[in-house]
């Protein structure tokens, strides 16, 4: 069978050093791609230690590379293997390259890190570029504050990679919300590669959430989610102190602690929730969309995926963003606040129970996000599919039945 007779193949790389954000974004894109096409397979390269907990559609699969975690001092260490980090990175780079060589993709999408973790994707980019495979860098709507991003990209030599490797840069957001490359001096040839897609709409999974039968509370409730949970202890503690000190809050709370929260913190929070009649907690649910769908409102830290879910399910939200080590969540929350899409309660270092309780009381009276959203805000997956098909058709692939109508105005917006 010749290359033009087989199904189209898309390879997606996600470095996944910590949290759920990269994996869930790549999974949403992969599911949308195969859902819209009769003839496509998508393979995800991921370092997530819990990727096996998630369901994947037919024609979507994953290859897991050895996990690494980032230390507080900025260094990396192997997550599970008792070997030197350089050896771990060499193994990861080898797996990425050999997977690309064997899978022979027609499109390669790199999530967020242009050269991968510590440059581990550079060799694969060389290989696929030599084969004429279209190369795409996918970026979330906000990366960091411009000065920090400028220093990081200069250190990682990102600008030459954007010039030499990538055919297109897809920003999974809208310029009206944020320009993730603001403050970065990019050559015109790089700026011309940028396409804004809009945010990635989320849908209910076909299977229900694992925790549909709650023991103490019932819907409607306020869903409290710190995402992966690795840095969500302060937010969860703040919410719990509000419920511990106020018995008149209008809705019960369901707290999803997250799989990466330290076990001792999980144990403490579960014990505190046991003592509260109107608060229930679980550690993790890979189908959290089902829990979110039943919520009257959401309290979250404002990561990219949770923000997409808040918009997709049209939920009133209170965002409690972190400000270290990145300003990403604060920038996104501030823009959402300015546009009336969500409330915001920044961590002021004091975090009184009364402040959180008052914010929770006001949550139910907030306007729904749908009343404030710009047109096309949730068209991200449709536009990703259109952009992917343009690249695939350019190389002679015929991946399915996508309508190749011109992309919406948010795609390819000039800077």
Residue 234 shares a structural domain with residue 153: no
Residue 180 shares a structural domain with residue 32: yes
Token duo for residue 266 = 């999980």
- Specify if 104 maps to a domain: yes
Residue 94 shares a structural domain with residue 232: no
- Specify if 215 maps to a domain: no
Residue 228 shares a structural domain with residue 145: no
pLDDT of residue 76: 64
- Specify if 206 maps to a domain: no
- Contact at 8 Å (CB) between 232 and 201? no
- Specify if 214 maps to a domain: no
| Interatomic CA distance for residues 123 and 29, integer angstroms | 24
Residue 118 shares a structural domain with residue 233: no
Q: What is the dihedral of CA 276, 282, 283, 289, to 10 degrees?
A: -130
Residue 257 shares a structural domain with residue 168: no
In total, the chain counts a number of residues equal to 415
Residue 357: left if φ>0, alpha if ψ -120 to 50, beta else—which one? Answer: alpha
Residue 253 shares a structural domain with residue 189: no
pLDDT of residue 68: 79
pLDDT of residue 226: 93
CA Rg, the chain, in Å? 21
| Interatomic CA distance for residues 91 and 65, integer angstroms | 8
Residue 253 shares a structural domain with residue 136: no
Token duo for residue 293 = 């769908």
**In the block, residue with structure tokens 């996990």:** 67
What residues form DSSP beta bridges with 138?
Answer: 111, 170
- Could you read off the pLDDT tens digit of each residue along the chain, which spans 415 residues? 444 457 899 999 998 766 688 899 999 999 999 999 889 999 999 988 889 889 999 999 999 998 877 655 556 677 777 778 889 899 999 999 999 999 999 999 999 999 999 999 999 999 999 999 999 999 999 999 988 899 999 999 999 999 999 999 999 999 988 999 988 889 999 999 999 999 999 999 877 777 766 889 999 999 999 988 888 999 999 999 999 999 999 999 999 999 989 999 999 999 999 999 999 999 999 889 999 999 999 999 999 999 999 999 999 999 999 888 789 999 999 999 999 999 999 988 889 999 999 999 999 999 999 999 999 999 999 999 999 999 998 876 555 544 433 433 333 333 2
Token duo for residue 307 = 């923000």
φ and ψ of 108, to 5 deg? -125, 125
**In the block, residue with structure tokens 């409290």:** 224
Query: Structural domain of residue 229, as residue ranges?
Result: 221-371
| Interatomic CA distance for residues 210 and 208, integer angstroms | 6
- Specify if 207 maps to a domain: no
The alpha helices in 104-136, defined as continuous H runs, are: 122-130
Residue 131 shares a structural domain with residue 228: no
- Contact at 8 Å (CB) between 273 and 280? yes
Residue 165 shares a structural domain with residue 266: no
- Specify if 49 maps to a domain: yes
Residue 134 shares a structural domain with residue 245: no
pLDDT of residue 366: 95
- Specify if 231 maps to a domain: yes
pLDDT of residue 394: 80
Closest CA to 377 of 253, 255, 200: 200
Token duo for residue 7 = 């199904």
- CATH number of the domain at 252, please: 3.40.50.2000
- Specify if 414 maps to a domain: no
Residue 324 shares a structural domain with residue 259: yes
Number of domains in the chain: 2
pLDDT of residue 324: 82
pLDDT of residue 16: 72
- To the question of pTM greater than 0.75 for the whole model, the response is yes
pLDDT of residue 49: 86
Token duo for residue 63 = 């290859």
């Amino acid at each position: 069978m010749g290359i033009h007779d087989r199904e189209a193949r898309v390879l997606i790389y996600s470095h996944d050093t910590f949290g759920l954000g990269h994996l869930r974004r790549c999974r949403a894109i992969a599911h949308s791609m195969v859902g819209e096409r009769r003839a496509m397979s998508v393979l995800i390269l991921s370092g997530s230690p819990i990727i096996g907990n998630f369901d994947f559609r037919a024609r979507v699969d994953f290859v897991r590379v050895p996990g690494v975690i980032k230390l507080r001092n900025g260094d990396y260490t192997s997550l599970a293997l008792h070997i030197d980090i350089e050896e771990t990175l060499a193994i990861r780079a080898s797996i990425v390259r050999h997977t690309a060589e064997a899978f022979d993709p027609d499109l390669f999408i790199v999530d967020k890190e242009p050269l991968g973790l510590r440059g581990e994707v550079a060799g694969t980019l060389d290989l696929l570029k030599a084969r004429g495979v279209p190369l795409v860098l996918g970026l979330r709507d906000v990366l960091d504050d411009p000065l920090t991003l400028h220093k990081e990209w200069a250190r990682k030599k990102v600008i030459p990679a954007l010039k030499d490797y990538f055919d297109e840069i897809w920003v999974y957001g809208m310029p009206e919300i944020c320009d993730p490359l603001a403050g970065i001096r990019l050559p015109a040839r790089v700026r011309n590669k940028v396409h804004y897609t809009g945010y990635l709409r989320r849908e209910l999974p076909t299977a229900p959430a694992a925790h549909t039968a709650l023991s103490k509370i019932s819907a409607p409730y306020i869903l409290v989610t710190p995402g992966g949970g690795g840095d969500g202890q302060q937010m969860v503690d703040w919410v719990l102190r509000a419920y511990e000190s106020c018995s008149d809050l209008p809705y019960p709370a369901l707290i999803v602690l997250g799989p990466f929260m330290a076990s001792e913190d999980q144990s403490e929070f579960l014990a505190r929730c046991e003592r509260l009649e109107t608060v229930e907690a679980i550690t993790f649910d890979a189908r959290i969309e089902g829990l979110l769908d039943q919520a009257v409102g959401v309290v979250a830290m404002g990561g990219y995926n949770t923000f997409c879910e808040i918009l997709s399910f049209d939920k009133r939200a209170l965002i409690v963003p972190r400000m270290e080590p990145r300003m990403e969540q604060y920038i996104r929350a501030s823009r959402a606040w300015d546009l009336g899409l969500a409330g915001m309660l920044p961590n002021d270092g004091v975090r009184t129970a009364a402040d959180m309780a008052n914010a929770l009381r006001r949550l139910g009276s907030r306007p729904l996000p749908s009343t404030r959203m710009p047109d096309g805000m949730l068209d991200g997956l449709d536009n990703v599919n259109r952009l992917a098909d343009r690249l695939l058709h350019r190389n002679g692939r015929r991946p399915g039945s996508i309508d190749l109508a011109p992309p919406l105005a948010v795609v390819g917006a000039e800077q």
